[in-house]
Chains A and B, each alone.
Chain A
């Protein structure tokens, strides 16, 4: 099946710094990718839709200046958590879908802000 690769799998950063998470579709082109956030023992919460070549679409309540999304190519979307704080600590997951096929998810990134 299609592969979506997410990097890094784990990251620890200091408060106030920014962290970039990459999401790549390895064997298909994705004009749309999605970024989710997952709290412990909770479901996936959609943060934003990443659109290749245009601005991302953010879900209600998600700060676009805090979570910067760039989708510069058909195989890469990045999520940058800016000026990270401990409350931004979470599991972040991306997904992408080949045309007409179900969504494939990255391995997830465990962000810990200390």
Chain B
């Protein structure tokens, strides 16, 4: 599978491989983290979230990992499909605040 050790703006993945997208967040007081998928010309779409008292959460084909020590968040996509091609953003917030702070996005391109 393809992986990214540091945040990179683009990721090219072979269809069927696993993808790992990384994000560094800035606010140690944030206690809620979300991954969004944004397709071209559309608004962001919720993928999965995780609270700061967890270090891993799994969804359908996706897993989010949280490392609070180094303020690092990652999204793993299993068996990447063409429909996964999009820009992926991480976002952070405090649980008592609606305001989201977005990280730089990663453009994922799936090769057939």
Using Cβ atoms and an 8 Å threshold, which residues of chain A touch B102? 43-45
Using Cβ atoms and an 8 Å threshold, which residues of chain B touch A4? 43
Query: Does B44 lie at the interface of the complex (its beta carbon under 8 Å from any beta carbon of A)?
Result: yes
Using Cβ atoms and an 8 Å threshold, which residues of chain A touch B79? none
Using Cβ atoms and an 8 Å threshold, which residues of chain B touch A102? 34, 46, 49
Task: Give chain A nearest CB distance to B45 CB in angstroms.
Answer: 7
Chain B interface mostly: loop
Interface stretch (choices A11-19, A62-70, A71-79, A106-114): A106-114
Using Cβ atoms and an 8 Å threshold, which residues of chain B touch A93? 43-44
Chain A interface mostly: strand
Contacting pair A108 B49 (CB below 8 A): no
Contacting pair A34 B34 (CB below 8 A): no
Query: Does B104 lie at the interface of the complex (its beta carbon under 8 Å from any beta carbon of A)?
Result: yes
Question: 13 A-B Cβ contacts within 8 A?
Answer: A4-B43, A6-B43, A34-B99, A41-B107, A43-B89, A43-B102, A43-B105, A44-B102, A45-B102, A49-B99, A97-B98, A104-B46, A105-B36
